[in-house]
Structure 1
Amino acid sequence: MSSQFRGLRHFVGEIRAAISYDDELQRINEEKQKIRNKFSASNLSVYDLKKYTLKMFYMGILGHKVDFGLVPVSQLMASKDKESKLIGYLTMQQLLRDQPDFLRMVTQTVLHDLSQSDSAFHMCLALDFIANTADASMAEIVAQPILTIIEDGNNNSIPTVVRKKATLALLQLYLINTEAVENSGVQNQLVKLVEVRNVGFLNCLMHLMDNIAKTNPEAVECVKHRCIYLMTKVLLKREVSEDHIYYQVPCPWLIISLVKMLMKLNCTLGIGSHNNQQQDQKQMIEAVIERVFSDTAKTGVSGLQSKVNIHWAICVEMANLAAFYRNLLTFNINIQFLIDVVKSNSTASNIKYAALISLERLSLIPQIQSQLVASIQDLAGSILTETDFSVRQRGVILLCNCQNSENSAAVVAALIFCAKCDAPENYKEDAILRSVRICQKEWKVEFVVNSLLKLIVAGNGLKINIWHDFIEIVERKIREQHCGLEVLNEVFQACFSAGQFTSDKTLLTCFCYIFKMLFKEVVDKNNYIMLVKHSLVSLQAKETENQFGIAIDAFMLLVAAGDVPLEELVWYCGSEFANVQQSVCEGYVLIAGGQQELLATLMCGEEVVGGVNSVNAGIKLNGEKKIEEKMEEKEPVKVAQSVNLLDDLF
């Protein structure tokens, strides 16, 4: 085609030779004016029309706005000549991005081409155009004709390639205007369509059904048994041609699409029928899952990389399916090969990542979780020494899934180690938040307090405020177990480092808050005066204004109790922070007026945290996790140091 249009080649060459954007823009504007003049002439030849249309197409590709000439382009779309029609469709798709209202003018042309069952070329152009440019109003008009093409009621008169394009076009329309596609009656045809014996068409159909299942799973429930039977037929009976076997895996992309679609339907299994034969869905899924894990174990991690990758990809999807139906199935899966892959130092990162994903999903199954808990020490050793952070993060999730009352201390210690490592912030934050979540469920006060204090230190410099969670958890433990003074002493000891008061502002804030909360229970308050005063000095800054207010409250309680002279409180009446200044002045008036008890009652009953909980706000456990999708997008980061904490953890 390009050999015919010398003017087009010259124009493209001039644009490429432009030194600056201004030179390019000047040449584009000159050509636009020339094309306008040509289009307004009455004697424009078809050759010139195609040439100037292609120039407009090239301008659009470069990102220049072309807001004229759509009528001549639509004439090319309606042409019977293949080259003219192709140029018209391609250019119209490009230019309509700036002129969506013009879409209605070409709808009749598109409908006419859809009806040309004797010309696959015309139908494919129209279907591509619909998939790329259709809007909601156009979807209402073309949905039914497209469904007619998919059904192909005239005994395979429409080529399969056209039916595949039609299915994908209908999928795009479903995303644009769901109601229009549902009104076309597509749901009534699913049972018939899923019987088509063409792998490519079934692949396209599964994508359509997957999106329907997202919004209306009941509409796809009618084909569940057929989909389960199809998996059995492909993976177990291998009733497919050699063309569709990819490294000994039959139809891998179809299998993955089937699994993803099944997990969007209701989590129920029963007895179904196909060809008048009763079939147990539970037994079929169990057989498929066990076969995939057996084949993956035989494939291992060595050999042709493409072969290894596809086997492990199917393994991950089957682990997802097993977790989805975990309450309905009985498994006979040997997961030792997955554990061996994780423990191996020579396994490629992507394969180890796949093994950890599989174990993480399988850990939701009680009978398999017990096997993993027994191997948690070996797993933790491999996870903590992993140099790829994305792999390590997946291992952290596995450790959390295997956490119980007996190994919670070891799991939290491993998470704290991960939070202290030289790692991206989102990895550290996730490890800390998962640790806090475990602490929320633990009963042992000493373990909880010590773990949270370590987490506070590990979380310094991050965007999350663990001290809010610390206060919330500690308040609950104190109410439930009446261990306030024990907690206070733990925090007090944590505020000392090498014989000196700590400079950690978060730790000091936690101490002041707990001291204030338990003030009436503390007998020897003199032991804490110096630390409260140290907190005042450390927290008196603009960035810690709220924390400084907590320290001031603790200090005023000491003044009210007579442990600190009233004159020292006067120093803070002129504080640069308005809220602190007002609080100190009001406290001074109450103390000077002999109302110390009233001040103590008011301040000890005040809630400072106000229900802030960064765990519930910052962590997404199980399922499709946003924080984990970001982790998976990152390039692997390597750790410089090697570690071995097993002796300390277990």
Structure 2
Amino acid sequence: MALSGMRGLSVFISDVRNCQNKEQERLRVDKELGNIRTRFKNEKGLTPYEKKKYVWKMLYIHMLGYDVDFGHMEAVSLISAPKYPEKQVGYIVTSCLLNENHDFLRLAINTVRNDIVGRNETFQCLALTLVGNIGGREFAESLAPDVQKLLISSSCRPLVRKKAALCLVRLFRKNPDVMNVDSWSDRMAQLLDERDLGVVTSSMSLLVALVSNNHEEYWSCLPKCVKVLERLSRNQDVPQEYTYYGIPSPWLQVKAMRALQYFPTIEDPDTRRSLFEVLQRILMGTDVVKNVNKNNASHAVLFEALALVMHLDAEKEMMSQCVALLGKFIAVREPNIRYLGLENMTRMLMVTDVQDIIKRHQAQIITSLKDPDISIRRRALDLLYGMCDVSNAKDIVEELLQYLSTAEFVMREELSLKIAILAEKFAPDLSWYVDVILQLIDKAGDFVSDDIWFRVVQFVTNNEDLQPYAALKAREYLDKPAIHETMVKVSAYILGEIQPSSGQKAWM
């Protein structure tokens, strides 16, 4: 059924949507593919308009999940069409159907290059999008220099330069060895000075890719990133279209802070002070509100700021602020925010000395062990384990032993190991350590590894003063109606080790 005009495409889509089942749909698609194949064989009789229509149908069939193994040549040939409607279809369908290793792409390289270096902005954008989407090595080798020229060209409009920057990000990530970025530091610094926030945002994505590969070349960009953050935090010269729920370009703020984390330090005192003022403003100005979208954006900025504060090893006062803020987050109802709060508290423990401040939130963290969401319970467990020391070990181990009774099987082995490690590391006295391990075996014998009960036997064997108490405790557990095999082994060892005099007491 070859219908003239784009009406044919609409009818085909309606036919597919009206199919009663998958089999009917497959028959209709096979029929259409057969028709397209026949028409392409007689290509001489096809107008560019008809070719465009059939290539659109191919794309629709591909999007439905069917294999389209012909017609690629026709799609690629539309890229060189002189008119926009045909050229657009050629670019879109080629980038969807072909991967970077497809032979037909070689046929298109010259046409794509002509569009990139040409004066038609619309064609430039189509070409840059294709190169960015496919990102193959051949494209990088042949076209990267032209794309770089577009990015730094003062005669190009921001729209084209944005696409050029994003295209280079993809080419660089895929083929860093092919791209020539020597002496690009000054150019990148200039790009971050641009007034157009779209160009700055795209250039910042490129900078993140470059500094993640080698930050040494880009020290001149560091103060520029701080200036961008200052501009956004003060809402200076930020157009309305770059403001999201009242937040000035949150995605650019995140990227700028991400770029800064690739530099090991900030030595210039003025730059460092300016950055800390920005971070302070972010920490003070972020709260949980009812609007989910606003929350998502402001928290994306906040958590990146926290990561940067940790990276820069900020002053204790700022760390305290960060922990206080995270303490608020672990108490809210929204589970995603609670998760991020716990995760970031754990990260702060690993990089800075904030244990005492985090301890203030111990009760709330323990409450998170009872959260309905297992991922939050896991984060709470990691955090409690990390924040444990001599002063709070008794409380935390007690809570973890209680939690053991209700914890999922998948968590019990890890939980048992963590309890055993904490009990041994922070035991105020050895009798408490024996108590904890025997309780642990009693509650979760199947999940207690041999190493754990070997250790307790070792302690009892090497400490005569501990033996009477250990024997008494072991005897109490043996009197229970149902005991675990591991408990039998431990008790047998302990009772076998004790001296006769203390043994007598224990058995009485």
1:256 to 251, 254, 257: 254
Deviation at 1:351, TM superposition (A): 4.2
Go from structure 1 to structure 2 and tell me whether the alpha carbon gap of 1:431 and 1:15 turns closer, same or farther (over 3 Å shift). same
Q: 1:571-600 deviations in whole A, cap 9, x for unaligned?
A: xxxxxxxxxxxxxxxxxxxxxxxxxxxxxx
Which protein has the larger Cα radius of gyration, Structure 1 or Structure 2? 1
Give the aligned partner of residue 279 of structure 2: 289
Give the aligned partner of residue 235 of structure 1: 233
User: Aligned runs of 1:377-388 on 2, under 5 Å?
Assistant: 377-380=362-365, 382-384=367-369, 386-388=371-373
Go from structure 1 to structure 2 and tell me whether the alpha carbon gap of 1:353 and 1:21 turns closer, same or farther (over 3 Å shift). closer
Q: Is 1:114–2:116 an aligned residue pair?
A: yes
Go from structure 1 to structure 2 and tell me whether the alpha carbon gap of 1:401 and 1:288 turns closer, same or farther (over 3 Å shift). farther
Does the 8 A contact of 1:495 with 1:507 survive in 2? Answer: no
Does the 8 A contact of 2:100 with 2:136 survive in 1? Answer: no
Give the aligned partner of residue 161 of structure 1: 159
Deviation at 1:339, TM superposition (A): 7.2
User: Aligned runs of 1:509-548 on 2, under 5 Å?
Assistant: none
Q: Is 1:438–2:428 an aligned residue pair?
A: no
Give distance in 2, aligned partners of 1:349 and 1:35.
51
Deviation at 1:252, TM superposition (A): 1.9
TM-score of the two chains, using structure 1 as the length reference: 0.67
Give the aligned partner of residue 317 of structure 1: 304
Give the aligned partner of residue 470 of structure 1: 452
Q: 1:249-272 deviations in whole A, cap 9, x for unaligned?
A: 333221122222222321x2211x
Does the 8 A contact of 2:366 with 2:380 survive in 1? Answer: no
Go from structure 1 to structure 2 and tell me whether the alpha carbon gap of 1:22 and 1:262 turns closer, same or farther (over 3 Å shift). same
Give distance in 1, aligned partners of 2:131 and 2:4.
30
Give the aligned partner of residue 267 of structure 2: 270
Does the 8 A contact of 1:467 with 1:510 survive in 2? Answer: no
Deviation at 1:206, TM superposition (A): 2.5
1:174 to 172, 175, 178: 172
Give distance in 2, aligned partners of 1:178 and 1:172.
10
Q: CA RMSD in A?
A: 3.9
User: Aligned runs of 1:573-588 on 2, under 5 Å?
Assistant: none
1:76 to 75, 78, 84: 78
Q: Is 1:370–2:353 an aligned residue pair?
A: no
Go from structure 1 to structure 2 and tell me whether the alpha carbon gap of 1:237 and 1:68 turns closer, same or farther (over 3 Å shift). closer
1:258 maps to a residue whose letter is A
Q: 1:520-559 deviations in whole A, cap 9, x for unaligned?
A: x66569x8xxxxxxxxxxxxxxxxxxxxxxxxxxxxxxxx
Go from structure 1 to structure 2 and tell me whether the alpha carbon gap of 1:35 and 1:355 turns closer, same or farther (over 3 Å shift). closer
Q: Is 1:326–2:330 an aligned residue pair?
A: no
TM-score of the two chains, using structure 2 as the length reference: 0.83
Give distance in 2, aligned partners of 1:506 and 1:202.
64
Q: Which runs of 5+ in 1 are unaligned?
A: 272-278, 528-650
1:25 maps to a residue whose letter is R
Q: 1:487-536 deviations in whole A, cap 9, x for unaligned?
A: 79748945864723644244445567x67xx97x66569x8xxxxxxxxx
Does the 8 A contact of 1:419 with 1:458 survive in 2? Answer: yes
Deviation at 1:60, TM superposition (A): 1.5
User: Aligned runs of 1:336-355 on 2, under 5 Å?
Assistant: 338=325, 341=328, 347-355=333-341
1:420 maps to a residue whose letter is S
Deviation at 1:77, TM superposition (A): 0.9
Structure 2 SS opposite 1:141: helix
Give distance in 1, aligned partners of 2:261 and 2:444.
37
Give distance in 1, aligned partners of 2:420 and 2:311.
27
Give the aligned partner of residue 556 of structure 1: none
Go from structure 1 to structure 2 and tell me whether the alpha carbon gap of 1:387 and 1:522 turns closer, same or farther (over 3 Å shift). same
1:203 maps to a residue whose letter is T
Give distance in 1, aligned partners of 2:395 and 2:372.
20
Give distance in 1, aligned partners of 2:121 and 2:381.
53
Give distance in 1, aligned partners of 2:328 and 2:317.
24
Give the aligned partner of residue 105 of structure 2: 103
Higher fraction of helix: 2
Give the aligned partner of residue 37 of structure 1: 38
2:113 maps to a residue whose letter is L
Deviation at 1:22, TM superposition (A): 3.9
Go from structure 1 to structure 2 and tell me whether the alpha carbon gap of 1:293 and 1:429 turns closer, same or farther (over 3 Å shift). farther
Does the 8 A contact of 2:330 with 2:341 survive in 1? Answer: no
Give distance in 2, aligned partners of 1:127 and 1:491.
77
Give distance in 2, aligned partners of 1:99 and 1:361.
41
Give the aligned partner of residue 206 of structure 1: 204
Give the aligned partner of residue 193 of structure 2: 195
Q: How many residues align?
A: 500
Does the 8 A contact of 1:342 with 1:352 survive in 2? Answer: yes
Go from structure 1 to structure 2 and tell me whether the alpha carbon gap of 1:106 and 1:419 turns closer, same or farther (over 3 Å shift). farther
Does the 8 A contact of 2:435 with 2:473 survive in 1? Answer: no
**Percent same amino acid among aligned pairs?**
23
Give the aligned partner of residue 216 of structure 1: 214
Go from structure 1 to structure 2 and tell me whether the alpha carbon gap of 1:392 and 1:168 turns closer, same or farther (over 3 Å shift). same
Does the 8 A contact of 1:269 with 1:328 survive in 2? Answer: no
Does the 8 A contact of 2:358 with 2:387 survive in 1? Answer: yes
Does the 8 A contact of 1:93 with 1:129 survive in 2? Answer: yes
Does the 8 A contact of 1:342 with 1:382 survive in 2? Answer: no
Give distance in 1, aligned partners of 2:142 and 2:136.
10
Runs of 4+ in structure 1 off by over 6 angstroms are none
Q: Is 1:89–2:71 an aligned residue pair?
A: no
Does the 8 A contact of 1:319 with 1:361 survive in 2? Answer: no
Go from structure 1 to structure 2 and tell me whether the alpha carbon gap of 1:332 and 1:430 turns closer, same or farther (over 3 Å shift). closer
Give the aligned partner of residue 499 of structure 1: 479
Q: 1:432-453 deviations in whole A, cap 9, x for unaligned?
A: 4543443453354444444344
1:412 to 393, 397, 407: 397
Give distance in 2, aligned partners of 1:49 and 1:323.
57
Go from structure 1 to structure 2 and tell me whether the alpha carbon gap of 1:307 and 1:83 turns closer, same or farther (over 3 Å shift). closer
Deviation at 1:3, TM superposition (A): 9.6
Q: Which runs of 5+ in 2 are unaligned?
A: 504-508
Deviation at 1:225, TM superposition (A): 2.5
1:284 maps to a residue whose letter is S
Deviation at 1:354, TM superposition (A): 4.6
Deviation at 1:163, TM superposition (A): 1.7
Go from structure 1 to structure 2 and tell me whether the alpha carbon gap of 1:26 and 1:384 turns closer, same or farther (over 3 Å shift). closer
Give distance in 2, aligned partners of 1:410 and 1:301.
31
1:261 maps to a residue whose letter is A
Give distance in 1, aligned partners of 2:409 and 2:239.
49
Give distance in 2, aligned partners of 1:398 and 1:134.
41
Deviation at 1:49, TM superposition (A): 1.5
Give the aligned partner of residue 566 of structure 1: none
Go from structure 1 to structure 2 and tell me whether the alpha carbon gap of 1:146 and 1:343 turns closer, same or farther (over 3 Å shift). closer
Does the 8 A contact of 1:290 with 1:331 survive in 2? Answer: yes
Go from structure 1 to structure 2 and tell me whether the alpha carbon gap of 1:429 and 1:325 turns closer, same or farther (over 3 Å shift). farther
1:231 maps to a residue whose letter is L
2:484 maps to a residue whose letter is D
Deviation at 1:59, TM superposition (A): 2.0
Does the 8 A contact of 2:76 with 2:105 survive in 1? Answer: no
